Structure formats: C-alpha cells, structure tokens
Structure 1
Amino acid sequence: MKTLTVISPIYNEESVIEAFYTELSAVLSRLVGYHSTILFVVDRCTDQTLPILRRIAQKDPTVQVLALSNRFGHQMSLLAGIDHCDADVVVMMDGDLQHPPELIPAMLEKYEQGYEIVYTLREDARQSSLFKRWTSRLFYRFINWISEIPISESAADFRLVSRSVIETFQTQIRERNQFMRGLFSWVGFNSVGVRFRARDRFAGTTKYSLRRMVRFGLHGIVAFSKRPLQLSILAGTIFAFFSLIYAVIAFVQYFFYASLPSGWTTLVIMIALSTGIQLICLGFIGEYIGAIFDEVKGRPHYLVSEKINFNHE
C-alpha cells in the first residue's frame, strides 16, 4: 500500500479548519490502495487554530501538526511540510476550502498514469474581485515575458508530487526566497495539469494583503529572471543617447540663439524622468542584493516550536 500525505499550510483559520479537516478526511478515507495522513503546518497564529488542531490530532493519529515558532510565510510553510514528509505521494493544498479535496482522486489517477507532478489550473471563484483577477493576470504575463521558465496564469499552490520530486526539494533546492510555483515548473519531471474552479471562501478572510502580494511577486521576479537588470542597462543606454542629442542641441542654442532659457522646462522634465528611472533601477538592484544577502546569512528557512504525532522522531 502506498503512502499519501496532504500538506496544508495554515494561518489564522479557526473558522474553517474543522470543516476542512472533516471534508478532507472523508475524501481520503474513500481512497483505495493508499494509507493517508494529513500534515498541518501552522504558521504562528494569533487565533485558536493551533489549539483546535491539537484536539483534532489527539483524536486522529493520522493527523500531524507542525507548529512554526514565528510567521515565516506560506512558501516556507510548504517547505517545512516537504522537509518533514516521507510519503510516496504528496498533495499540497490550502486549508480554506477554496482548493476542493474531491479533486484529489483525479490527481491520483494522473499519478498512476506516470506523471510525477500534477499541477492545478485555477478558475477564480465568483467572489474574487476584478482587481485581484486583473493584477494576477498582469503579473503572470509579466513574469512569463521576463523569465525563461513558463508559469501558467492560472497556477495554484494545489498540486500532487511524487517521492522523487520531494527528495529533490529536500536535498538540492535550498534557496531562501523560494517561489514554489516557478520552482515546480523549473525542476521539470513528467507533469500534467488539471483544471478546477475555486470555491467561494467557506469562512474567514484572505491572508494575502496587497503588500504581501507585491512581496510575493517581487520574490518570483528576482528568483526567475535577471531581465530587470538587463532592462536597467537598456534604459540607461537609451537615456544616455537622448542626453547626448540634447547636449548637441543645447550647444547649438548656446552659440546661435539668444533664447537659451526657453529649454528650461524640457531640461527639468528630462532630469525628473531620468531620476525616476534611476531610482526604479536601483530598487531592482536592491532586491537582487537583498536576495544575495539572505543567502549569505545562511539562517534557517524556518524554526519549529512543536511537533504532534511525529512518533518516529
């Protein structure tokens, strides 16, 4: 019998976590040929999520809980789950019930056909705002333009992976700023996509604020493309060229025209525009230097404060 572990990163989901566990365990109990466990990775919460999961794990020995000591973020929670998993097959999904557990059997069918990564392509829930859908589409189009690694506009952190893929992440892919959606595309392996429609939120609110979404997007850009640095060089070259042309014009005006101050507005506009471009380029450079700084410090990806039902450790 093969082993299956469902990894679910959790943060402040007290209003939905019991319903998610009930629905997921019902789906897993109907699987044939798999011994299933659920691994909840709890980013340090400010509500009652962890006490609820303690009670669930006390009653159900197939539920494991990995409590992190601080809020390390969604991607590091996924990595923590990967590091503490030794199953033959792993499914990663959010615990807010927007990722439907009933899709797991279809994903396992693809795995049985020989696919080592079964990723999902999300169709947004009806309650998703137009702004969120538009910005998400714009981000993925931008990152696909600047990156050599294709990432689907509908990509979600709901996927199935084989043991060999898990071992790759456990032993070889250890960078600090991990952008999982890109990394699972980058590693290759035999992959296939499955479409699903995201549900409306059962309860609670999204944990991705605009600020966290921007940080998430910047991590993806820095992790998978050097093109912003190359574009900085291009922008500098273009402005240097126009500056040279303007210098020639100013030189001619100085000797042949008395109305030299008339170009003052043009000069101010060019200085302001070029300064803005320079600051944007410096910002991109700062992001890359910050990523290097994180790698050089060599801090742990995450810290664990509590483990529940990890009997073999």
Structure 2
Amino acid sequence: MTLSIIIPAYNEEEVIEQFHARLASVMAQLGMRWEAIYVNDGSRDRTLPILTALHERDPRAAVLNLSRNFGKEIAMTAGLDHARGDAVIVIDADLQDPPELIPALVAGWQEGFDVVYAQRRERQGESWLKRATAHAFYRVMQRIGGSVRLPQDTGDFRLMSRRACDALLQLRERHRFMKGLFAWIGFPTKPVLYDRDPRAAGTSKWNYWKLWNLSLEGITSFTVVPLKVATYLGLLVAVFATLYGGLIVVRTLIFGNPVPGYPSLMAVVLFLGGVQLMTLGIIGEYLGRIFNETKGRPLYLVERHLQSGLQVSGKAAPASLVA
C-alpha cells in the first residue's frame, strides 16, 4: 500500500524544511511506502530552490512546478493529477494542519472509508473575526447546498482512496471550489477531530478580500440559490409596486391628486435601481463562469516535474506537461 501526499506551496520558504522533517518522522513511524508531491504555485521567494534541494536529498519528495501562480484550488488539482498512491492526502505546508494526524486518517481509510477528513475542533492563532466569518460561511453553505452537504469546519486536509481521487479528477471545471467538489463525489466518509495550530512560520496568504472572493466562488460554483433569490426579490418588488400603485389610485379617487413628494420618489427610484444592479451582478457572476468554461483552456501548465522515486506497478506519472 502506497500513500501520495499533496502539498501546495506558495511562498513557504520559511516552513518547508520543518514541514518535511515532521512529515518524514510521522511516515517513518507509520511504516508505509509514500511520496510527497510539493506543488510550487508560482512562488516568488526561495521556495522552488529549497524544494529542488529537498528532492535531491530525499527521493521520496517530488516537485511539480507550475508555470505561474494559478491559485491553491488549481495547485491541489495538479498534485492530485500526478499522485500515484493507493490513497492520497492533501495537506497545507504551513503546519496549521499537523502531519501527526495522518495515522488517524490512514486508520479511517483502513476501516473502509473512502474519504477521511480532518474536522477542526479549535482554530488557534486566528482572529475572532476570521473564526466568526468561517463559522457563518460553513453554516450558509450547508443550508443552500441542497443534497450535497458541506462538512462543518472542514478544510482541505483529508485522505481520499484511489477510487475517490479518480472520481474527483473527472470534474474538470475551471472555477474550482475544492471543498464543494470533495463533498459532491460522495463515497463513505469519516471525520477525524483535531485542534488546528497557528502557522509555524511566515504569514497567511489569505487576506479578507481573498476569503470573500473564495466565498463567492464557493456559493456560485456550488449552488444556483443566488439566482433564485434574485428572482424572488424581483417578484417581491413587483408585488409591492402593484400594491403601492393601487393605493395611489384609491387615494387619488378619494382625496384628489396631490403632488407627490420628491424624497419618496427618489427613495423608490434608488431602491429599484439598487435591486436591478444587484440582480445584474448576480447574473454577471454566473455568466462570467460560463464564459471561462467555454474557452476550454487547460487548468494549469507545468514548468517542470521532478518525479519521486516511488515505484507503483501499473501507475505512471502523467507524461503531458499540460492538464
């Protein structure tokens, strides 16, 4: 049994060596054949030279260098494309997700579960605002997800069996919300609770603007509820306008036709204009995704692939540098 560990990395020069040392220690105790696939997502620091030296020193470390920064969701997909193990683990390099939890994930897989995900019990080292917004996001996604249930307080740290990984790789849309795709494929799943640690070094690459955009990506990629909300809001405004128009007619018949006030007129115009712009914005978000899908561009380009020494019968690494 072999294990492929996917580690997307963007400007992680301060933590890569420490991460690999802890990972190697854990895997030595586990006693499994393994490879670590480091996906360098266009880093601008010394991450790539460090990974190249690590590959030369440890044959179990593979390096997949993308031609530019494509984003974490695409970097994870690239790593999954090149994984050859019987099971695949996705983990961040910043050590907020401890490698020491891997044996518990493997134990769940050996029990027969295809997906074993790490569920956060505590989020140390994060502000109350980030914890509150993350809590709200997961609850909203659970309510609007329909038949696909997004696990609460669960990131990308998880183990997938080979058949679950192959099923996931059939989903090739350009706008990728991986947490939603992980949930969409189904298969027997099991949570493993853990306390998330602060970053071991460096700074987070996720500011509030990027998190907001990721939230929009998740909602629009995972559900069409915003379009339904826009429809119902437009219907509600139309009903309100009809009732208000009837009220104006009745008041005119009874009390005559007084000159309407300017403030109330401006309030109605601005309200309707705001509703229309918001609805157009929602439609534009979905239309933009359709536009990007129809272009048919590859998800990513690989600048170089330094393959690990893991030998897996019948499973070769992808030969193409375009995927």
Q: TM-score, normalised by structure 2?
A: 0.92
* Alpha-carbon distance in structure 2 between the residues aligned to 1:292 and 1:85: 29
Instruction: Give how far 1:256 is off.
Output: 4.2
Q: Does 1:195 align with 2:196?
A: no
Q: Is the 8 A contact 1:82 1:169 kept in 2?
A: no
* Alpha-carbon distance in structure 2 between the residues aligned to 1:85 and 1:92: 11
Instruction: Give how far 1:238 is off.
Output: 0.5
Q: Tell me, what secondary structure is at the counterpart of 1:260?
A: coil
Task: Give the counterpart of 2:85 among 80, 83, 87.
Answer: 87
Q: Tell me, what secondary structure is at the counterpart of 2:150?
A: coil
* Alpha-carbon distance in structure 2 between the residues aligned to 1:260 and 1:142: 47
Q: Is the 8 A contact 2:123 2:131 kept in 1?
A: no
Superimposed CA distance per residue, residues 33-81 of structure 1 (whole angstroms, 9 cap, x where no aligned partner): x201100001001111111111111111110000111111011000000
Task: Give the counterpart of 1:276 among 270, 274, 280.
Answer: 274
Unaligned residue ranges in structure 2 (runs of 5+):
310-315
Amino acid at match of 2:171: I
Instruction: Give how far 1:152 is off.
Output: 2.2
* Alpha-carbon distance in structure 2 between the residues aligned to 1:289 and 1:296: 11
Tell me the residue number matched to 1:13. 12
Unaligned residue ranges in structure 1 (runs of 5+):
none
Amino acid at match of 2:154: A
Instruction: Give how far 1:268 is off.
Output: 1.9
Q: Does 1:4 align with 2:24?
A: no
Instruction: Give how far 1:262 is off.
Output: 4.6
Tell me the residue number matched to 2:205. 207
Tell me the residue number matched to 2:158. 159
Q: Which structure 2 residues correspond to residues 132-147 of structure 1 after superposition, within 5 A?
A: 132-147=130-145
Instruction: Give how far 1:254 is off.
Output: 4.0
Amino acid at match of 1:304: V
Instruction: Give how far 1:251 is off.
Output: 2.8
Amino acid at match of 1:177: H
Q: Is the 8 A contact 1:20 1:95 kept in 2?
A: yes
Q: Which structure 2 residues correspond to residues 1-313 of structure 1 after superposition, within 5 A?
A: 2-32=1-31, 34-148=32-146, 149-170=148-169, 172-257=170-255, 260-309=258-307
Q: Is the 8 A contact 1:136 1:153 kept in 2?
A: no
Q: Tell me, what secondary structure is at the counterpart of 1:290?
A: helix
Identity %: 38
* Alpha-carbon distance in structure 2 between the residues aligned to 1:214 and 1:282: 19
Amino acid at match of 1:4: L
- Compute the RMSD of aligned alpha carbons: 1.5
Q: Is the 8 A contact 2:168 2:185 kept in 1?
A: no
* Alpha-carbon distance in structure 2 between the residues aligned to 1:53 and 1:113: 34
* Alpha-carbon distance in structure 2 between the residues aligned to 1:213 and 1:3: 34
Equivalenced residue count is 310
